[in-house]
């Protein structure tokens, strides 16, 4: 799946849950939405942590030559 689509989807759901939580007056509904918001935020955190682990290289550093990499090389994950 496309990482950008994943982040966009999580962000849209988070925004929707926050708006719904702001509109509701009942305490139990607010609690339910707060749990949804918490879970969505944790999901974004896990995704961002994984993305940062997968991209440890400084792309401004020209010492790594991407042209030397082929699709047949082993990927370390």
When pLDDT is averaged across residues 12-34 and rounded to a whole number, the result is: 95
Helix, strand and coil percent figures for the chain, each rounded to 5: 70, 0, 30
Looking at residue 77, what is its pLDDT? Answer: 45
Looking at residue 64, what is its pLDDT? Answer: 53
Instruction: Give per-residue pLDDT as tens, 26-70.
Output: 999 999 999 999 999 999 999 888 878 777 665 555 555 555 555
* pTM assigned to the model: 0.64
- Residue 59 vs residues 3, 55, 73: alpha-carbon distances, Å: 18, 9, 20
Q: What are phi and psi of 60, to 5 degrees?
A: -85, -15
Name which of 70, 17, 26 is nearest 44 in CA terms.
Answer: 17
Instruction: Give per-residue pLDDT as tens, 1-13.
Output: 787 888 899 999 9
């Amino acid at each position: 799946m496309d990482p950008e689509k994943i982040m966009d989807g999580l962000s849209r759901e988070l925004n929707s849950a926050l708006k719904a939580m702001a509109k509701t007056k009942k305490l139990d509904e607010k609690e339910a939405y707060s749990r949804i918001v918490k879970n969505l935020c944790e999901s974004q955190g896990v995704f961002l942590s994984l993305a940062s682990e997968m991209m440890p290289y400084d792309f401004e550093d020209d010492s790594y030559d991407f042209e030397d990499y082929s699709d047949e090389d082993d990927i370390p994950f």
